[in-house]
Amino acid sequence: MSVHVLLGLQWGDEGKGKIVDYLAPQYPVVARFQGGPNAGHTLEFEGIKHVLHQIPSGIFRPDTQNIIGNGVVLDAIVLKKEIEALAQYHINVKQNLFISRKAHLILPTHRLLDQAWEEAKGVNKIGSTLRGIGPTYQDKIGRQGLRVGDLQSDNWKQAYNEIKRKHLDTLRFLGKEVDLTQVEADFFEAVNYLLTLNLVDSEYMLNDALQAGKPILAEGAQGALLDIDFGSYPFVTSSNTLATGACTGLGISPKHISQVFGIFKAYCTRVGSGPFPTEQDNAIGEEIRAIGREFGATTGRKRRCGWLDLPALKYAAMLNGTTHLLMMKGDVLNDFAEIQVCTHYRLPDGSLTDRMPFDLNLTQVEPVYQTFKGWQRSLVGIQKFEQLPSELLAYIQFIEESLHIPVSLVSTSPDRSATLLREATVLA
């Protein structure tokens, strides 16, 4: 069988958690392949809102195995809290949650370094979630990280203390004296708990599943425009968020990937610093934020809001080899009489382009918009894709024609049930 990759095509927060949960019954295995507790995947069903940070979004489906892959950086304290929050829903993590032994651990000092480095940047802050993600990936690439599997050795604390010593030296250089007493106690307690879970060689587990004919859904975090290589650098995350990241983040061959599901909002949002050409820092942006409840699931920060950016969406779809577009939050635009879509950028020399510049931080672009008539009606009660308002269908058709990729699914509210799959579309 094959691997289907599901990821965000914008700056994150597109609604990946809901769609993974929706699709999970069709997949025996769901696997997260990058990021860490900086992700906040929101799911809503039966009137309850759930936010997952590290656990794959298939965890509410009892017949789905959920794997945290080697490409994820894992915070044991956050994981313990996540699992405890799931206990009231009778989720048996001992049965359907598996953690790669090769995943790197976020240490208490990684979080402190993240905060210290962000503070040292002053007005040039990246907008980090301060969860220790960047410093952990930095240690991974620097070949001095601590992995989940290392905890099973007798001398792991020796390795931990050596890493901690280096981190404390750096913190002192940055003028920070810290007390680790409580956070270390929490960390060691969480490590002991982590050791009771299913720690596996996930690359073998995943490839054995493929050999047995089981399809796998690879779940990405953040979004393509935050990719460490192709995103709006340096205002990016610390991992490869593209479909190719599923290969190195799970230990699977590219030959197994047959579908890439690209999720995007009917508009754009961004949290933190960095360029955002279509941002509406005005009443329109405020209205989108209020209706869409655009506040970070992990940090609670206000998301910056704006119109759909087609040059950026095309770029992300190209990089990922996207085969299906999945549109989220169309209902947020229900009340707008007119909806704008950025089709091109006007460059400083006056020329137009539909391509992303080398560096949006250095190149000031002016978005060129095309205006669409809004549908100005509720989407509640619509049961079929083809029953959507004609204005919304025209909006969708324009996106399809611009990207040459079908929009195969539309979400009409946060609830699991409000998901419209196009007729004759098979996503699994």
Q: How many CA atoms lie within 13 A of 377 on its CB side?
A: 11
* DSSP assigned state of 256: G
Helix (H) or strand (E) holding 297: none
Which of 13, 139, 309, 331 does the annotation list as catalytic?
Answer: 13
Tokens of 348: 């400083």
Is there a catalytic annotation at residue 179?
no
| Strand runs labelled E in 256-412 | 257-265, 268-270, 304-306, 308-309, 324-328, 338-346, 352-353, 366-373, 407-411
* DSSP assigned state of 20: H
Computed on alpha carbons and rounded to an integer, the radius of gyration of the chain in Å comes to: 21
Where would I find the H helices in 129-229?
A: 133-141, 156-173, 181-194, 202-211
Distance (Å, whole) CA 65 – CA 206: 10
Q: How many CA atoms lie within 13 A of 233 on its CB side?
A: 10
DSSP character string of 376-425: -S--TT--SGGGS-HHHHHHHHHHHHHHTS-EEEEE-SSBTT-EEEPTT-
Q: Which amino acid is at 313?
A: L
Q: Which amino acid is at 41?
A: H
Is there a catalytic annotation at residue 50?
no
Distance (Å, whole) CA 313 – CA 301: 24
Which of 41, 104, 324, 344 does the annotation list as catalytic?
Answer: 41
Tokens of 215: 């399809």
Return the percent helix, strand and coil in the chain, to nearest 5: 35, 20, 40
Catalytic residues: 13, 41
